[in-house]
Amino acid sequence: MLPKIDVSLLTAKWDNMVNSLYELFEEFQVLSSVEAEVSTLDNVYKQIETKYRLMKQQQEVIIDKILEGKVSDSEEAEKILECNKKIGTQVKTHYLNCTKSFAEYQKKCSLNKSSEHKSDSIEAMTFAVTKMAEALTSTKTDKTSSLEKLSDPVWDGKRKLYLTWKHEFKYWMEKCKQDKEEQLQSFRKALPKYSFWADQVKYCKSVEKAFEILDKEFADKRKLMDDLLNEITFHKPVKSDSASFSRYATQIMGFANDMEENGCSVADSNESPFIMSQLLSKLE
C-alpha cells in the first residue's frame, strides 16, 4: 500500500513559500514608490524571481505527489489541487506585474540620467532658437499672453554682451509686468549655470542689488575698452580683398556699436587713434 500523503505538511510548506513571496512583493512596491536606486530595486527583484522559480517547482512537486500517491480521499486531493492552482495563479499575476513595473522603472531612470547630460552644442542651439522666437513671435492678438510664451533673455557670462543683455532683461521684465520676486527668479535663470558670478549674486534679495554687483565688473568702461583692444589684437591677419576686410570691419564695428549704445564711447575716447592703428595693422 502506498504511503498516505501528509496534506497538512504540504499545505504548510506551500503557505510559507507564498507568504515569503508576498513580503518581497510588498517591499518592492514600497521601494518603487519612493523611487529608490535601481540597484536596490534590482536586488529585491532578483530575490522575487528566484523564489518564484522555486515556488513553480514546488507546485509541480505537489501535483506529482498527489498523482503518484493515489490519495484515497479524492475530496482532499481535489482540495489541494484547487488551492494549489488558485494561489499559483494569484502569485503569477503579482510576479508579472512586478516584472513589468521593474522594466518601466529601469527605462524611466535611464531617460532621466541621459537628460541630465546635455551637450554644450545643444545648449547653444537652444539659446539661438530662443532668440529667434523672441524676434518672430507676434504680439498682435494678446500682448500679455504672447510675452509670457517668450523665454527671458539669457546672458552668456561675457563682458562684451553684458550691457545689451541688461537692457533687454529690464525691458522684458517691464513688458511682462513681473513683480520683484518673479524678476529675481528670472534673473537667476538667465545667468550662466555654475559660474563664479552666478554664485556671487544668488543670495541677493533684489535684481537691483544683483546688477550693482555685476556692474562693477562687467559695466566698467575701462575693461570694456580693453576687451575691444584684445579683440583686435588677437584677431588673425585679414586679407586685403574687399570681402575679407568687410567681414573684419563688421565684426569689430558690431562690438564698438554695442559699446556706444551702452554709454561707452569709442570714437571720442583717447584710445581712438590707437584702436584705428591696431585695426589697420591686421591687414596683410
Q: How far apart are CA 97 and CA 176, in angstroms?
A: 49
Q: Where are the domains of the chain?
A: 7-113, 159-219, 222-281
Phi-psi sector, 119: left (phi>0), alpha (psi -120 to 50), beta: beta
In angstroms, the CA 235 to CA 229 distance is: 10
At a CB cut-off of 8 Å and minimum separation 6, what does 100 contact?
A: none
* pTM for this predicted structure: 0.41
Q: Which CATH class is domain 7-113?
A: mainly alpha
Task: Going residue by residue through the chain, which has 284 residues, state the pLDDT in tens, using 9 for 90 and above.
Answer: 444 556 567 667 777 888 888 888 888 888 888 877 878 888 888 888 888 888 888 778 777 777 766 555 677 777 777 877 888 888 888 888 888 888 888 888 877 766 655 555 566 556 666 766 666 554 444 444 444 445 678 888 888 788 888 888 888 888 888 888 888 888 888 898 888 988 888 888 899 998 999 988 888 878 888 887 787 777 788 777 777 777 877 777 777 776 776 677 776 677 777 777 777 777 76
3-state secondary structure of 221: helix
Amino acid, single-letter form, for residue 166: K
In this structure, how many other beta carbons lie within 10 angstroms of the beta carbon of residue 1?
A: 5
Torsions phi, psi for 283 (to 5 deg): -80, 135
Identify whether the C-beta of residue 238 lies closer than 8 Å to the C-beta of residue 248. Answer: yes
Longest CA–CA separation in the chain, Å? 120
